[in-house]
Amino acid sequence: MALVVQKYGGTSLGNIEKIKVVANRVRETHQKGNGVIVVVSAMAGETDRLLSLAKDITAQPDEREQDVLASTGEQVSCALLTMALKSLSIKSISYVAHQVKIRTDNAFGKARILDVDSKRITRDLRDRKVVVIAGFQGIDDKGNITTLGRGGSDTSAVAIATAAKADICEIYTDVEGVFTTDPNICPEARKLNRISYDEMLEMASLGAKVLQTRSVEFAKKYQIPIHVRSTFSDRTGTIVTREDKDMESVIVSGVTYNKDEAKITVTKIPDRPGIASKLFTPISNANIIVDMIIQNVSADGFTDLTFTVPKADYKKALELVQITAKEINAKEVLADPSIAKVSIVGAGMRSHSGVASAMFTALANEGINIMMISTSEIKISCVIESKYTELAVRVLHNTFCLGENNDLKN
Ligand code: ADP
Ligand code: ASP
Ligand code: MG
């Protein structure tokens, strides 16, 4: 029999009825003789509600206390699901992070899991108990509660699957798997039967929030297969796994968008060695992740520099950049939070030319201006005005024929 980790997202646990549906699903797997570890998110909307309470107190809540607050959502769903299982006469036990020692670094709000002690879990599994664990949270080496960033329960699930040596990590959500693009904004989106870790990694990091990026990094590193599927149907979903030959023959597998970044431009920077380091060191010291960076060609000894940061860190980044800009005698700092990044992802791009120009032409035909471009081996991203996001996604999905049944993976 297998050891299965099942992670249920917030929408799957949105109310008591849904929690009972989940309990029945867990029971089914358990009654087949499998060992079952369940990782839960907070009930739908709860994390947003908690974070907005903090914002009602102060615009910049203390990061440690914010994690103490945000982590409570998962404790509630963890207890409720375990009660539901017990009322179905399934032996089960709930745990929050410190009880199973989900150890993280101390980056509040975006902590990284270092390790999980599986001893207690293994003992419970041996007693045929279903172990229900609160996702999204950990503890640092001083015993502080930390959280793993939005969508972090996916990463909790994969890390726990790794530590417990599970056979599979199932991610249950409100859609039937990983689609060619967000099915909620593009009705033609098609479910993928399989996707490689690398493509999924790009899709997740470029905005396909169906899996948190770090969960895919973890799964790739430890070769844990992930099955993304719906809580509300029995159909097979998408298997995230190692790349095989068939996958390479697909040029573009998906289109993603991300509205959670903001753009900062520093103009007329004196162009001399050390300037970029001066600008970005304070930002990196503040644990802010910079995504795209563009530096213009120098003219008359001056240059402009544009970069993007997560919207959540944008005000902090702006303050830091304004200080440095003064020190280095730059002309001004411009900020634009109304941007979106649209991207196309595909393993086959490595060996095909013309993909970028097809993308740029498709956007140009709709009158969509491209503000920034970045590429890697298997993706191309463009920053555009956020009001065009949905249009751009649909146009690109259509341009690369993703709605049609031309996918060798299926
Ligand atoms: P959960 O609460 O289960 O963690 P999330 O809201 O985090 O669910 O993730 C599921 C959502 O991800 C879907 O409802 C869908 O709108 C969105 N999504 C974005 N891109 C994709 C994609 N390529 N495939 C599937 N879902 C996607
Ligand atoms: N509850 C957290 C969030 O809303 C973590 C998760 O759902 O994965 O981001
Ligand atoms: Mg999620």
155-194: pLDDT as tens digits: 999 999 999 999 999 999 999 999 999 999 999 999 999 9
Answer yes or no: is 116 within a domain. Answer: yes
Indicate if ligand 1 lies below 6 Å from the C-beta of 184: yes
The protein residue whose alpha carbon is closest to atom 4 in ligand 2 is: 47
Indicate if ligand 1 lies below 6 Å from the C-beta of 135: no
What does the pLDDT read at residue 352?
79
386-402: pLDDT as tens digits: 999 999 999 999 999 89
Instruction: Report the percent of the chain where pLDDT is more than 90.
Output: 88
Residue ranges making up the domain that contains 94: 3-174
Answer yes or no: is 129 within a domain. Answer: yes
Q: Which atom, in ligand 2's list, is nearest to the CA of 212?
A: 8
Indicate if ligand 2 lies below 6 Å from the C-beta of 94: no
The protein residue whose alpha carbon is closest to atom 9 in ligand 2 is: 150
Query: Which residue in 255, 233, 251 sits closest to 186, CA to CA?
Result: 255
Answer yes or no: is 397 within a domain. Answer: no
State the DSSP H helix or E strand holding residue 301, giving kind and residue range, or none if neither.
none
pLDDT band at 261, cuts 50/70/90? very high
The answer to whether 410 touches 192, Cβ cutoff 8 Å, is yes
**Which residue is it, tokens 């032996």?**
91
Long-range contacts of 315-323 (CB under 8 A, 24+ apart): 315/60, 316/60, 316/286, 316/288, 317/264, 317/283, 317/286, 317/288, 318/264, 320/282, 320/283, 320/286, 320/288, 321/264, 321/266, 321/279, 321/283, 323/282
Indicate if ligand 2 lies below 6 Å from the C-beta of 8: no
285-336: pLDDT as tens digits: 998 999 999 988 878 899 999 999 999 899 999 999 999 999 999 999 999 9
Distance 168 CA to ligand 2 centre (A): 21
User: Whole-angstrom Cα distance, residue 280 to residue 293?
Assistant: 10
Q: What is the mean pLDDT of residues 141-149?
A: 97
Indicate if ligand 1 lies below 6 Å from the C-beta of 176: no
The two beta strands, 332-336 and 261-270, are: antiparallel
Indicate if ligand 2 lies below 6 Å from the C-beta of 152: yes
Number of structural domains found in the chain:
1
Measure CA 101 to chain center.
23
DSSP 179: B
Whole-model pTM: value is 0.91
327-371: pLDDT as tens digits: 999 999 999 999 999 999 988 888 777 899 999 999 999 999 999
What does the pLDDT read at residue 145?
98
Q: Give the mean pLDDT of the chain.
A: 94
The answer to whether 345 touches 256, Cβ cutoff 8 Å, is yes
Task: Say yes or no to pLDDT of 405 above 60.
Answer: no
Answer yes or no: is 337 within a domain. Answer: no
- CATH of residue 41: 3.40.1160.10
Answer yes or no: is 179 within a domain. Answer: no
Indicate if ligand 1 lies below 6 Å from the C-beta of 178: yes
268-287: pLDDT as tens digits: 999 889 999 999 999 999 98
- Which of 209, 252, 393 most suits a substitution to test ligand 1, by most atoms within 8 Å of the C-beta? 209
Indicate if ligand 2 lies below 6 Å from the C-beta of 153: yes
Indicate if ligand 2 lies below 6 Å from the C-beta of 25: no
Answer yes or no: is 195 within a domain. Answer: no
What does the pLDDT read at residue 298?
79
Q: Which ligand is closest in space to the CA of residue 41?
A: 2
What does the pLDDT read at residue 312?
87
28-64: pLDDT as tens digits: 999 999 999 999 999 999 999 999 999 999 988 999 9
Indicate if ligand 2 lies below 6 Å from the C-beta of 226: no
Strand-pair partners of 382:
342, 373
- Which of 153, 209, 231 most suits a substitution to test ligand 2, by most atoms within 8 Å of the C-beta? 153
pLDDT band at 244, cuts 50/70/90? confident
Query: Which residue in 310, 297, 308 sits closest to 269, CA to CA?
Result: 297
Distance 302 CA to ligand 3 centre (A): 44
Answer yes or no: is 275 within a domain. Answer: no
pLDDT band at 248, cuts 50/70/90? low
**Which residue is it, tokens 């249009």?**
391
Indicate if ligand 2 lies below 6 Å from the C-beta of 151: yes
Indicate if ligand 2 lies below 6 Å from the C-beta of 173: no
Indicate if ligand 2 lies below 6 Å from the C-beta of 213: no
Distance 133 CA to ligand 2 centre (A): 14
The answer to whether 89 touches 126, Cβ cutoff 8 Å, is no
Q: Which ligand is closest in space to the CA of residue 182?
A: 1
Distance 29 CA to ligand 2 centre (A): 24
Answer yes or no: is 32 within a domain. Answer: yes
